[in-house]
Structure formats: structure tokens, C-alpha cells
């Protein structure tokens, strides 16, 4: 009941903050660049910041119908606790009188967690340029109603075409193309994105994976060869990171900014393949920020190409999959079947109910698979069974960052993990972490 009430009030309250954000945007009048897509947005935002630098303002930690107006108004949510809303409601109208940012470019990350959010944000921002990384099954439970058990007479004409959740999600992201004024830089290998091209009058620049000549991922660095250029990063990055590099290069040319081919100022956001030294001489790959089947597949394929003596996978639930939850978690088992590893540990009710039996069926009992419901059980198992020198990949939901925190050799590095706010600390504590 409470969840339904919050959904009903989501946009009415969001429009309150949007009113003042729109006023401040009108006073500021920045050149707006939107970074959007189902995954890879934050990493691309960081990549652009490493190139554009102080010429732009960036919407870090803000990509929703609330977060972006807050960022425009210079309002911050520090603890994510409910009492902060009183301050936010009072401060919003006063914030339009703040001094405008000095930067004349605004690079903003924008997500579509639910129907109407793409249009809400696109009509607020009206971007000059849009960068669209991909479109996959994220937050798909919120889009189920647009596809299943809805008669043609009950939905607007445009929504009648939604045969799948994926199409509904892509349509919502497509609002950013529709309202872009000059240029759209997009993943040209996505059929879902291509179907939205007709909605924009701006020029479309397609980024195609065929232009990636080589990709090599090692434990401490990744090398990309794109055309005649070779790019080296001191991070573990999947093959699909190519799209971010190529999009960045196109944007820099448009902005007449000379690129830095070394990307020396680039840093990964938390929970996106950060590497840590763990207890017992282990190496931890932290990809725990979020997960759907596509992002799981990308990271698992990358992990498969890394050479290591002992490779363990800790896979958590994929959240907000809606009607396709069972099917998506069973597909995960089929992806794991193709990966070389020494041990797999599943954590969460969904991977335990759907992925675990499918894995046992596919492996025919030849591989030892562990399953647990909560993160404290996983932590206890790891502490008791790690022998040393294991390479551990963490991917999925349900507070895996709390497990990683307890495995760090250098405890001070916990600040580099995702979800450091007070509300997440309290929730992890309830799980015994």
C-alpha cells in the first residue's frame, strides 16, 4: 500500500522541484549534454569529465526526476534519510536566487526508471546533444503494465506498439532523441535504439563496434585499439567500454576540445570493476553497483578472459525484472555455463530459486555451486573457505558491497565502495555487515 502511494505521488512532487529547476536553467542557459542509457552512463560521465574538465558542470550522483532538479538547484541529499525532505522543500524556491554556475556547459546523466520519466527529463533539459549508450532490461518491472494484459483501447496510440518490455524502455529513452536540438551520438549496434531514430530532427552519429580493432583486459589494465589509435587504461574494463571512448571522441570534436588520448584524469565510479587487495592475498573485482542480464553478461565475458590461478564468482540477484524475473535468472545460468571458473557462489532469493537449479541441471553436478540468501552468509563462507590467491568477481544486488568491505586488506579503502550514505549503512547493519 505504501509503495503504491509513493508511486502515485512520484511525479506530482517531482514537478514541484522541476518548476524551480526550470527557472534556474532559464537564468543560467547552459549548453546541455545528456548522457543516457540503461547502463554505462556514470562511467561515460566520468570519462567525459576527464576530457572536458572544468569547462563543464557535471550531475554526479543525480540522474532521476528528483536528482537532476536537485543538482540544477544545488541541493544535496547527504544521508538519504526521510527528514532531509523538509529542508529540500523549503530550499527549492530560494535556490533560484543563487548565483549561476560559472560553467557554460552542463553534462547531465539521465535515467528512465519508470514510464513518463524520459519525457519528464527530456522536456526539462531539452538537450543540445544526447549520448545514448544502450537500451536493455533495467527497472523493467515498472514497464510491465505497458506490455501485458492491457487492451488497445486503454493505452495511447504510441504505446500500442510495445510487444516487449525492451521496446517500452527504449521508447522512454527515445524522448531524449526527440527533444535534442543538434546532435545524437548513439550505440549504432542496438536495434532498439535504431527504431527511435525517426523521432529526432537532429543529426545522428552512430558508434559501431566493428571499429574496435582489438581489446585486451588484464587484471591491472585494459588496452583498446580503435582505428589507428591505441588507448591504455589502468583499470579493468569490458569490451563494451569502446562505445564510451568513441562517443567521447565524437563529442570532443563537436565541442572543438583537443582530446587527451591518455585519459590520465579518468577514474572509475564506485562499484564498476574497481580492483582491491583482499584478505589472504586475494584480489577483489567490485562490480556490485547494479545488475541486469546484459551487464552481467558483459562483465562475466570480461572476467572469462582474465588469466588467474583460481577464479571465483559471487553473483547476486538481478532486481526489478518484473514479469521476466524467472526467465532472466534462468538465462543467467546459461551465461555462466560458458564461463571458466573454479567456484560460483549465488546470493539472494532469486538466484537461489531460479539460477541455482538451472545451473545444476546444465553442469550435471560436475561443478560445486554454493547458494545463500543473505550477504552475511556469503561473507562467513568466504572467510572460512578462501585459501589464498583467489580472484573474486562480485556482481549483483543485495549489499555485496558490504561483503567486499569486510574482505578488504586495507580497511581505509571502504570509502571507495558504493552506497556510503547513512541509510545504506543502517541497512547493511541489519544484515549483520
Specify the pLDDT at position 337: 93
70 shares a domain with 214: yes
Q: Is residue 265 part of a domain?
A: no
> Residue 232 is part of a domain; what is its CATH number?
3.40.1190.10
**pLDDT for 366:** 76
Q: Residue 27: what pLDDT? A: 97
Task: Give the residue, 12 or 153, on which the prediction is more confident.
Answer: 12
Q: Is there a domain that residue 395 lies in? A: yes
Residues 192 and 313 in one domain: no
> What is the reported pLDDT for 162?
87
Residues 197-245 pLDDT 10s:
999 999 999 999 999 999 999 888 999 999 999 999 999 999 999 999 9
Q: Are residues 341 and 300 in the same domain?
A: yes
Say if CB 135 and CB 192 are below 8 A apart. Answer: yes
Q: Determine which of 53-67, 131-145, 273-287, 361-375 has the lowest per-residue pLDDT on average.
A: 361-375
Q: CB–CB of 275/310 below 8 Å?
A: no
Do 216 and 87 share a structural domain? yes
Residue 264 in any domain: the answer is no
Residue 267 in any domain: the answer is: no
In a domain, 79, yes or no: yes
If one counts every other C-beta atom within 10 angstroms of the C-beta of residue 65, the result is 24
Express each pLDDT in 49-88 by its tens digit: 999 999 999 999 999 999 999 999 999 887 778 888 999 9
| Number of compact structural domains in the chain | 2
- The 8 Å CB, 24+ separation contacts for 148-154 are 148/323
Burial (CB < 10 A; 0-12, 13-18, 19+), residue 150, is middle
Q: Is residue 269 a part of any domain in this protein?
A: no
CATH number, domain of 397, equals: 3.90.190.20
Residues 100 and 179 both lie in one domain: yes
- Alpha-carbon gap, residue 262 to 231, rounded angstroms: 7
- pLDDT at residue 1 tops 60: no
d(CA 230, CA 337): 32
- Determine the pLDDT at residue 80: 74
Q: Is the dihedral of CA 145, 289, 57, 423 positive or negative?
A: positive
- Using a cut of 0.75, tell me whether the model's pTM lies above it: yes
* 131-155 average pLDDT score: 79
User: In this structure, how many other beta carbons lie within 10 angstroms of the beta carbon of residue 410?
Assistant: 10
pLDDT given for residue 159 in this prediction:
46
Q: Within a domain: residue 339?
A: yes
Same domain, 149 and 245: yes
> 308 and 210, same structural domain?
no
Q: Are residues 236 and 290 in the same domain?
A: no
Q: Is the pLDDT of residue 430 over 80?
A: yes
pLDDT confidence bin for 149, thresholds 50/70/90: low
Residue 133 corresponds to which cell in the numbers above? 549508450
Same-domain status, 238 and 113: yes
Contact 111, 173 (CB under 8 A): no
Q: What is the pLDDT of residue 5?
A: 62
Domain span at residue 60 reads: 10-255
Is 41 contained in some domain? yes
Question: What is the arithmetic mean of pLDDT over 232-261?
Answer: 96
**Is 228 found in the same domain as 190?**
yes
pLDDT at 78: 78
Cα–Cα distance, 135 to 268 (Å, whole number): 21
Instruction: Give the pLDDT confidence score for residue 152 in this predicted structure.
Output: 47
Residue 355 confidence class, pLDDT cut points 50, 70, 90 = very high
Classify 114 as helix, strand or coil: coil
Average pLDDT over residues 154-163: 57
What is the predicted pLDDT for the residue at 406?
A: 96
Q: Are residues 355 and 244 part of one domain?
A: no
The domain boundary residue, chosen from 226, 255, 284: 255
Domain boundary among 223, 255, 287: 255
Q: Give which of 15, 7, 4, 28 is closest to 89, Cα–Cα.
A: 15
Statement to judge: residues 228 and 308 lie in one domain? no
Task: Decide which of 225, 255, 285 is a domain's last residue.
Answer: 255
Query: Is 133:44 a contact under the CB 8 Å cutoff?
Result: yes
Amino acid at each position: 500500500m505504501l509503495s503504491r502511494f509513493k508511486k502515485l505521488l512520484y511525479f506530482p512532487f517531482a514537478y514541484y522541484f522541476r518548476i524551480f529547476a526550470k527557472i534556474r536553467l532559464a537564468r543560467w542557459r547552459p549548453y546541455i549534454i545528456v548522457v543516457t542509457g540503461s547502463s554505462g552512463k556514470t562511467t561515460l560521465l566520468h570519462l567525459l569529465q576527464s576530457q572536458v574538465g572544468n569547462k563543464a558542470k557535471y550531475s554526479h550522483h543525480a540522474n532521476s526526476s528528483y536528482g537532476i532538479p536537485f543538482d540544477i538547484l544545488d541541493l544535496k541529499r547527504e544521508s538519504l534519510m526521510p527528514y532531509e525532505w523538509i529542508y529540500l522543500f523549503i530550499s527549492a524556491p530560494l535556490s533560484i536566487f543563487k548565483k549561476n554556475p560559472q560553467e557554460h556547459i552542463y553534462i547531465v546523466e539521465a535515467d528512465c526508471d519508470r514510464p513518463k520519466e524520459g519525457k519528464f527529463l527530456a522536456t526539462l533539459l531539452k538537450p543540445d546533444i544526447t549520448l545514448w549508450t544502450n537500451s536493455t532490461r533495467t527497472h523493467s518491472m515498472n514497464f510491465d503494465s505497458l506490455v501485458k494484459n492491457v487492451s488497445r483501447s486503454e493505452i495511447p496510440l504510441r504505446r500500442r506498439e510495445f510487444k516487449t518490455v525492451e521496446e517500452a524502455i527504449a521508447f522512454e529513452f527515445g524522448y531524449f532523441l526527440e527533444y535534442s536540438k543538434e546532435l545524437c551520438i548513439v550505440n549504432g549496434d542496438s536495434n532498439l535504439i535504431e527504431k527511435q531514430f525517426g523521432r529526432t530532427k537532429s543529426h545522428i552519429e552512430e558508434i559501431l563496434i566493428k571499429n574496435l580493432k582489438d581489446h585486451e583486459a588484464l587484471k591491472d589494465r585494459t588496452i583498446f585499439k580503435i582505428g589507428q589509435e591505441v588507448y591504455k587504461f589502468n583499470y579493468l574494463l569490458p569490451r563494451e567500454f569502446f562505445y564510451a571512448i568513441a562517443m567521447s571522441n565524437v563529442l570532443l570534436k563537436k565541442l572543438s576540445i583537443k582530446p587527451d588520448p591518455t585519459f590520465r584524469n579518468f577514474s572509475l565510479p564506485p562499484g564498476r570493476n574497481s580492483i582491491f587487495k583482499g584478505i589472504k592475498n586475494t584480489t577483489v573485482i567490485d562490480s556490485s553497483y547494479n545488475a541486469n542480464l546484459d551487464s552481467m553478461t558483459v562483465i562475466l565475458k570480461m572476467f572469462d578472459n582474465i588469466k588467474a590461478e583460481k577464479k571465483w564468482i559471487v553473483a547476486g540477484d538481478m532486481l526489478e525484472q518484473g514479469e521476466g524475473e524467472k526467465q532472466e535468472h534462468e538465462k543467467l545460468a546459461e551465461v555462466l555455463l560458458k564461463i571458466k571458473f573454479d567456484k560460483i557462489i549465488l546470493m539472494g532469493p532469486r538466484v537461489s530459486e531460479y539460477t541455482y537449479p538451472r545451473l545444476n541441471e546444465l553442469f550435471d553436478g560436475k561443478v560445486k555451486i554454493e547458494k545463500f540468501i543473505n550477504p552475511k552468509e556469503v561473507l562467513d563462507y568466504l572467510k572460512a573457505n578462501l585459501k589464498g590467491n583467489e580472484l573474486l568477481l562480485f556482481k549483483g544486488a543485495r549489499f555485496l558491497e558490504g561483503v567486499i568491505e569486510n574482505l578488504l586488506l586495507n580497511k581505509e579503502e571502504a570509502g571507495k565502495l558504493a552506497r556510503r550514505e547513512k541509510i545504506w549503512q543502517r541497512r547493511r547493519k541489519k544484515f549483520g555487515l
